[in-house]
Structure formats: structure tokens, C-alpha cells
Amino acid sequence: MTPAGSLLEAGALHKAYGTTPALDGTGFSIHAGEVVAVMGPSGSGKSTLLHCLSGLLRPDRGSVRYGDRELTGMNDAQLSALRRTDFGFVFQFGQLVPELTCVENVALPLRLNGLARKEAERHARAWLERLEVDDVAAKRPGEVSGGQGQRVAVARALATRPRVIFADEPTGALDSLNGERVMTLLTEAARDTSAAVVLVTHESRVAAYSDREIVVRDGIAREAAVGAV
């Protein structure tokens, strides 16, 4: 599952919590511009896999390569810098900063990368417009709907034009209509920028937006035909 030329590759990942294994020799790969759905029941290890792939969690054994870099050999500062520039994240509940406006939330990763406030917010507004939520730019996360907030979170993930987007149950807190719109906008924008998407979900309707599916059960990942789960 780690073909040559992959943008992100993991080999023989092992991760345990105490005596309970979460990953048991899992492999994974994804190419630029590809959307891969990681599916499986609760507790199967799919979120642990995403966290290891993104450097949020260190595996006990195994390797994670991003291009020519080995993530498991990086220190915390190097991983943090990589996540600010090359990786984008969308979580189930958005995790927007409640004290900031929506445009400030989207601009935040750009500001952290050194862009001036005015320029960062100009880019942020363009992404909010693309995600069809430019009308909430001046509002705070607590003042917008769940669907709007998740689109803001997607805009924030895309703002730095990352090479890989990690989406962990991005529609889990949304109704089906809002969930489908978020997935359409996320996958269209990612493909337009040639970003790869690692999409963790347990919903077949969400996985249908992917190019292929990986099924994780008991810490083992296996390839599946799209729609076969």
C-alpha cells in the first residue's frame, strides 16, 4: 500500500494505548490530488492512523514519509512548522477560536506564517467567498450555524494551500444536506489546488466523495473498492 511516487506513505505502523493495540502493522499511501476515505467502526484505529500520518501522534513503531522527509524523525518544532505550512486540518466540530471572527479564524494560519494582517484577511475573505460563507466574515463562531462554521473551518484548512488535508469526521455534526455541501466544496477546492485529502469517516455517503477507500478493522488497514464497505 505504499507505491512509488506517493506524496504521503506510512509503513508498518504500530500504536498501542497501554496494552490495547490501536494500529497493528498498518500501511497507507496517498498521491497528490487524491481523496482517500479511511473507514471503519468506532475504535478501529482510523483516527489514530490519521493522527500518526499528520504528526499529531507518534507511532510506537513504523515509518511515516512525506515526500523525502521522515516524520517520525522530526522534533516537535519541525512537526509544528510542517503542520502550519503543508498540512491542513478539518475536525468534526470545527475547533474555531471563539474569540475571533470567522475571517480572523481563516486568516490565523496565514498570520502564524508571517503574513501581514491586511493581506492575510484579504486571502481569508477570498476563501470564505469560495466556500459560500463570505456573509459571516465579521461574525464569531458562536453566531453562525453548524454548517456555516464547518465551511469556515474548511476555508481555514485550505487558506495556506496545503499539500495534504486531514479531515476527521468533517460532517459528523451536520445534517445530511449541510454535510453534502461541505464535502462537495471541500473536495472541489482540494482537487483544484492538487491537495491530497485523508478523510476519516464511518459514513458511506461521505466516503462516496473519495477516489478510493481504506477500511481499518482491529488496527489493520485494507484497500476496498469504493462503495464496497
> pLDDT digits over 139-193, tens only?
999 999 999 999 999 999 999 999 999 999 999 888 999 999 999 999 999 999 9
In this structure, how many other beta carbons lie within 10 angstroms of the beta carbon of residue 3? 8
Proportion of the chain above pLDDT 90, given as a percent: 81
Specify the pLDDT at position 227: 45
100-142 pLDDT, tens digit per residue, is 999 999 999 999 999 999 999 999 999 999 999 999 999 999 9
Query: pTM for the complete prediction?
Result: 0.90
CA 18 – CA 197 distance, rounded (Å): 30
CB 215 within 8 A of CB 229: yes
Specify the pLDDT at position 43: 84
- pLDDT at residue 34 is higher than 90: yes
Find, among 185, 211, 217, 181, the residue nearest to 199 by Cα: 211
Specify the pLDDT at position 200: 94
Which pLDDT band holds residue 74 (cuts at 50, 70, 90)?
A: very high
- pLDDT at residue 31 is higher than 70: yes
Specify the pLDDT at position 172: 86
CA 42 – CA 92 distance, rounded (Å): 14
Specify the pLDDT at position 225: 56
